[in-house]
Amino acid sequence: MADTTDATMSPWKPIKATAVLVLADGTVIEGQGLGAVGHVVAEVCFNTALTGYQEILTDPSYASQIVTFTFPHIGNVGANGEDIEDLTPAARTGAVGAIFKADITNPSNYRSADHLDAWLKRRGVIAMSGLDTRALTALIREKGTPNAVIAHAPDGVFDIEALKAAAREWSGLVGLDLAKAATSGQSSSWSETPWVWDEGYGEQSAPSMHVVAIDYGVKRNILRLIAGLGAKVTVVPATTSADDILAMKPDGVFLSNGPGDPAATGDYAVPVIQDLLKADVPVFGICLGHQMLALAVGGKTVKMHQGHHGANHPVKDHTTGKVEIVSMNHGFAVDSKSLPEGVEETHVSLFDGSNCGIALTGKPVFSVQHHPEASPGPQDSHYLFRRFANLIRERKGEPALAER
């Protein structure tokens, strides 16, 4: 009888890996390549959100990071031009890599304009599928976010030793200022308001206040929500001086989210924030902006073991006693024990007790670690934007908006 175990006769042939994830400790994980071709070194994190993959991948706070999606099926809503979050998509700020369990799902949504794989290629994001994302997530939870190289080569040829060296030698995010790469190149005006079902995005044509947003890597939906509350929004680069900001006569100043180590960005941002606090202008910060506000008043920030990345995080607002379900995306956190007198801890994570918000006693200044614009609740945290607007309206002698 003929030997039917010959590999040339078997219908079951091993699939050649066209992508690899090489961790700094030398671990090599194989998969199938998607998106752009090439390789990049970055930090690997995981995100537990069930939806919003396009917003996640275009969030500038994910710069120099590879996002592992714990939800197994990604791509079913396709991709479109409305769901990107970075202000300057041509600069390709956001995640540099993506990891999926299954191959990209074909789009099945009326808003889809493109297949996710084609969109990843155009954006230059290297991706891979076909690996055990649950095991990778467990590894990150146990050992912390690793430095790694993600590589995609259609011919399946990789210089593994060179990739190991690149992952091993990369210094990581600590001490890295990424806001200068994510920020706008010049000042600009923003008037687009939030999306409405069957109407799309609106336009703010009759603003009643002026907010200057310092762009450390701002997300579009943050600007939409500020504009939607009646603000003319002026977006300025991260390195803009306090004198230039105050010369614009803002009714309030917003400190945006962004990537990298807050202590590194704080080298030039903290003195500006301190001058704005002296000017007694209402200030609201989110994510990186929250962390740098804490630095500006004498607090400290620390690198987290695995970070918080997801859309199901419970946070308690001590000012109201209410719990909200929020979206998180941060690898650094404010050390609540370092906060000086005169700074109140307003929000705390119910997962691990880490700081999620502060307010300055007797001043119109506050910030939060989470992303109230990302709508996981879906609008649990939108009151924070109305809280900011009310600080401005109070100064202008106007009636307050209902926070809820």
Mean pLDDT of 257-269: 98
Whether 248 and 312 map to the same domain: the answer is yes
pLDDT at 256: 98
CA-wise closest residue to 389 among 282, 276, 290:
282
Q: List beta partners, residue 66.
A: 44, 97
The 10 Å Cβ neighbour count of residue 247 is 9
Number of domains in the chain: 2
pLDDT at 291: 98
Whether 302 and 227 map to the same domain: the answer is yes
Whether 135 and 239 map to the same domain: the answer is no
pLDDT at 12: 56
- Beta carbons of 224 and 275 less than 8 angstroms apart: no
Whether 206 and 149 map to the same domain: the answer is no
**Burial, 117: exposed, middle or buried (Cβ in 10 Å; 0-12, 13-18, 19+)?**
middle
pLDDT at 10: 45
pLDDT at 89: 67
Average pLDDT, the chain: 94
pLDDT, tens digit, for every residue of 222-255? 999 999 999 999 999 999 999 999 999 999 999 9
**Burial, 345: exposed, middle or buried (Cβ in 10 Å; 0-12, 13-18, 19+)?**
middle
Domain containing 118 equals 19-169
Answer with the one of 169, 195, 212 that is the final residue of a domain: 169
Confidence of residue 346 (pLDDT cuts 50, 70, 90): very high
Confidence of residue 329 (pLDDT cuts 50, 70, 90): very high
Whether 152 and 188 map to the same domain: the answer is no
Mean pLDDT of 279-303: 98
**Cα torsion for 359, 361, 362, 366, to the nearest 10°?**
-10
Proportion of the chain above pLDDT 90, given as a percent: 92
Catalytic hit among 45, 55, 152, 287: 287
Catalytic hit among 290, 347, 371, 382: 371
Answer with the one of 142, 169, 196 that is the final residue of a domain: 169
Catalytic hit among 55, 85, 373, 382: 373
Q: CA dist 63 to 36, 67, 85, 189, Å?
A: 16, 10, 13, 24
Please confirm, yes or no, whether 318 is among the known catalytic residues.
no
Please confirm, yes or no, whether 287 is among the known catalytic residues.
yes
Mean pLDDT of 139-159: 98
pLDDT at 90: 61
pLDDT, tens digit, for every residue of 352-381? 999 999 999 999 999 999 999 998 878 899
Answer with the one of 135, 169, 203 that is the final residue of a domain: 169
Please confirm, yes or no, whether 356 is among the known catalytic residues.
no
Mean pLDDT of 316-338: 97
Q: CA dist 230 to 179, 219, 404, Å?
A: 27, 18, 17
Q: 214 pLDDT exceeds 90?
A: yes
Domain harbouring 43, CATH code? 3.50.30.20
**Residue at 6 is within a domain:** no
pLDDT, tens digit, for every residue of 6-45? 434 445 556 899 999 999 999 999 999 999 999 999 999 9
Could you give the CA distance from residue 328 to residue 195 in angstroms, rounded to a whole number? 21
pLDDT at 15: 83
Whether 148 and 210 map to the same domain: the answer is no
The 10 Å Cβ neighbour count of residue 127 is 28
pLDDT at 109: 95
Mean pLDDT of 281-300: 98
pLDDT at 11: 52
Least confident of 5-14, 158-167, 173-182, 356-365: 5-14
pLDDT at 198: 87
Confidence of residue 4 (pLDDT cuts 50, 70, 90): very low
